[in-house]
Amino acid sequence: MIEGAGIPAEDIRARLGAAFEIVTATADADAGELDATGFDAVLAPPDRLERLTGDVGARLLNSIGEGVCLMNPQGGLVWANDRFRALTEASRERLAAVAKESTDWFAQRLMQPGAKLSELPCKFELSSGEHEEQLESYISPGSRDAGKQQEATGRAASTRPKVDQLAIVVRDVTAAKRRLRKIDAIDRAGAALVRIDAKEVRDMNAIERLGLLERKLVAMFHELLNFDHFSVRLYDESTNKLELVIQSGLPPEAADFDIFPGAEGNGISGWVFSTGRGYICEDALADDLFLPGLEGARSSLTVPLRLHDRVLGVLNIESSDASAFNEEDRQFAEIFARYIAMSLHILDMLVGEGSNVNQEVSGRVQSELAEPLEDLIQEAEWLDTCPLGSDPEAAAHVERIKADIAAIRDKMSRVTSGPQTLLGVERALADRERDPVLDGRRVLVADDEPRIRHILRDVLRGRGCDVVVCAHGGEAIDELERVARGELAAFDLVLSDIKMPDRNGYEVFAAARKSESAVPVILMTGFGYDPHHSIVRASQEGLEAVLFKPLQVEQLLDAVRKALVSHETANS
C-alpha cells in the first residue's frame, strides 16, 4: 500500500490486516522502495503510477505541455498527469461531466457497421467566462478488453467493444483566446478611428479635427490597451523633426525635446523612426536611448506609425513601472499604430483637399466675373466718347464706375489668391481713431507674407499700438528671447502665422511662453490647414485664440481686444 492522497491507510489496515499481509511505503519514497515485484496486489494513488511502475509512457505524458487523463464512463478519474491536475477544480469537474455524457454517444456510434474506436475522437471547448480558463479538449473512447473479445470470439465484425474508459487531452488556450479577442477589438476600434466623415471634417477647424482624433485615441488607449501615458509624433519634412502632435498624461515639458530622425542621439523615437522597428525599454534608468517624458517613467514602448511602406511618425507609451511592456504589448501597439497612421493621413488629405477646393472655387468665381466686368469697362469707355461724356457731372460718374470696377477686380484678386488674405483692409486703414483697449500696447507680429504683416502693422499702429514686425518665425523667436534676457520690454500680445518656412507657429508660441508665461498668443492659419499640428499642441498649453484666413480685419481686432481684456482680468 502506497500511502498518499485518497488512501485511507488506517481504515484499510483495520479491515484487511487479518486476511492480508500489508506492506506500506510513503508517497515520497524513491523508486527502489516502490518496486511492486512479488506482491499480489498494489493499492496506490493514481499520481504514483509513474514512480511505481517506471512506465516510459507515463513519464512522457507527464512531461508534455498538455493535460492528459483517463476516466471511466462515470466521469471518475483513473489516471492523470501533473498538467491535468493543475487545472482548476471547476474545470476538472466540467470535464468529468462531459466525459460521462459522451459515453452513450460513443456507444451508439460503435453500433454502426465498420465503426472503430480509433476513428471516434471528438473535439470540444470549455469556457468558464471571458476572463477565466479557456480549454480546448479532445476525447477518445477506449476498451481495455477489445482485443481479448476479438481474439476469443473470432467475429470482430459482429462484436462491438464496450466503452469502459475515456482518454482526454486538454490544452489551455486561455492566453490564445484572449489574444484573438483583443486583436478583434483593436481591429474594430481601428476601423472606427479611420471612419471619418469627409463633410464633417471639412466643417471643422484644425482644433476640432485633431481634438476629435485625440479624444478617440485617449479613450481607446485607456479602455482597449490599458495605456494612459502616450504621445504621437509626426515627421515634418520642412523642419526635419518629429513634431509632437498629440499627447496624454505627459507633462508639457515633453514637447521641449527636439527629436530628429536618427538611430543615434535622438532617443528611442528617433531610433524607431529611422529603423521602422518597435522598441521596448524595460528599464529607463539603464537605457541610454531613453529620453524622459512621464515624470518618474521607468519603462516605455515605442512603435512606428507605418502607412504601407512609409513611416509617418512614432507612437510612444510610457509607464512608471519597470518592465511594464512585453512582446504581446508591442504587437498590439503596432497593429493599432497602423490605424493611427491611416487616420492622420486621411485627415491631412481631407483638409488639404478642402484647401485646394476652396482655392479652385474662388478661381472659378473670378473667371466667371471677368467677362461681365470687362463689358462694364467697355460701356464706361463708350460713355466717355458719346455727347454725354462732355458733361462734367456725367464724366465724374463714369470715372466713378471705372474706379468701382477696378476695386471689384482688386478685391476678387485678393479673395481668390488663397488663404493668405485679409478682408476689409481699406476701411480698417481709413479708421485712424486710437482704441482705448489697444492704445499703448506692445504687440509682436510674425508673418512671412509681406503684405499681411504690413497691413497688420499699419492697422494696429493706427489704433495706438507699438508694433514690432518679424518677417519669419525665427526672427520672432529671437525677439522673444531678447525679452526673456531683459534686453527688450515685454510684449502685451503675440500675433503669429502658423505656416512659416523656418519656424512654425507652435515654436513661436513656446518661445512666448518662455519669455513671459502669461502673455496672450493668437495664431493665424489659412483655410484651417495646420500641417505642423501647432494649434492642438498650443491649445493644450493655453493658446488664446486661432484665426482662420481669409478673415476680416475687424474680426482680428476684436480677437486682439478680447485677448488683452482677458489677460488683464486674469491678472487683476
Confidence of residue 437 (pLDDT cuts 50, 70, 90): very high
For the segment 428-448, the average pLDDT, to the nearest whole number, is 90
Q: What angle do CA 494, 508, 463 make, to 5 degrees?
A: 15
Q: Pairing between strand 310-319 and 299-307?
A: antiparallel
Q: Does 316 have pLDDT greater than 80?
A: yes
What residues pair up with 525 in beta bridges, in sequence order? 548
Residue (of 505, 507, 522) closest to 567 by Cα position:
522
- Element (DSSP H or E) covering residue 140: strand 134-142
Most confident stretch, 40-49, 53-62, 184-193, 443-452: 443-452
Can you tell me whether residue 53 is helix, strand or coil?
helix
On the question of pLDDT at 443 being above 60, the answer is yes
* Mean pLDDT within 421-428: 76
Burial of 367 (0-12, 13-18, 19+ CB in 10 A): exposed
C-alpha grid cell, residue 532: 505642423
Cα gap 269→300, rounded to integer Å: 11
Per-residue model confidence (pLDDT) at position 136: 85
How far is it, in rounded angstroms, from Cα 447 to Cα 453? Answer: 6
Helix or strand run (H / E) with residue 452: helix 450-462
pLDDT for the residue numbered 147: 43
- Domain 65-172: CATH superfamily is PAS domain (3.30.450.20)
pLDDT at 240: 84
In CATH terms, 181-353 corresponds, of 3.30.450.40, 1.10.3260.10, 3.90.1260.10, 3.40.309.10, to 3.30.450.40
Ordered strands of the 442-446 beta sheet: 466-470, 442-446, 493-497, 521-526, 545-549
Element (H, E) at 416: none
Q: What is the pLDDT of residue 231?
A: 84
The pLDDT tens digits for 522-564 are 988 764 445 445 666 666 666 777 787 777 888 899 999 999 9
CA–CA dist 428, 459 (Å, integer): 6
Instruction: Kindly report, residue by residue over 454-481, the tens digit of the pLDDT.
Output: 999 999 999 999 999 999 999 999 999 9
Full DSSP string of 242-290: EEEEEEESS-GGGGG----S-SSSSHHHHHHHHH---EEES-GGG-TT-
489 close to 512: Cβ distance less than 8 angstroms: no
> What class, spelled out in words, does domain 422-571 have in CATH?
alpha beta
pLDDT in tens, 364-406: 666 667 777 777 777 777 777 776 656 777 777 778 887 877 7
Written as one letter, the residue type at 556 is: L
Grid cell in block for residue 42: 498494489
d(CA 318, CA 235): 20
Higher pLDDT, 226 or 289: 289
* Cα–Cα–Cα angle for 213, 253, 507, rounded to 5 degrees: 75
pLDDT score recorded for residue 396:
79
**Is the predicted pLDDT of residue 282 greater than 90, yes or no?**
yes
- Asked whether the beta carbons of 232 and 210 are under 8 A apart, the reply is no
Strand 521-526 with 493-497, pairing: parallel
Residue with cell 507612437: 315
Helices (H) and strands (E) in the chain, counts: 18, 17
Share of the chain above pLDDT 90, in %: 16
pLDDT digits (tens, 9 = 90+) for 27-45: 666 545 555 556 777 787 7
Mean pLDDT value across the chain: 77
In total, the chain counts a number of residues equal to 572
Cα–Cα distance, 74 to 166 (Å, whole number):
10
572: Cβ–Cβ under 8 A, 6 or more apart, which residues?
A: none
The confidence score (pLDDT) of residue 258 equals 79
Rounded average pLDDT over 248-252 = 73
| pLDDT at residue 182, rounded to an integer | 74
CA of residue 367 relative to chain centroid, distance: 45
**Placement of cell 477518445 in the chain:** 140
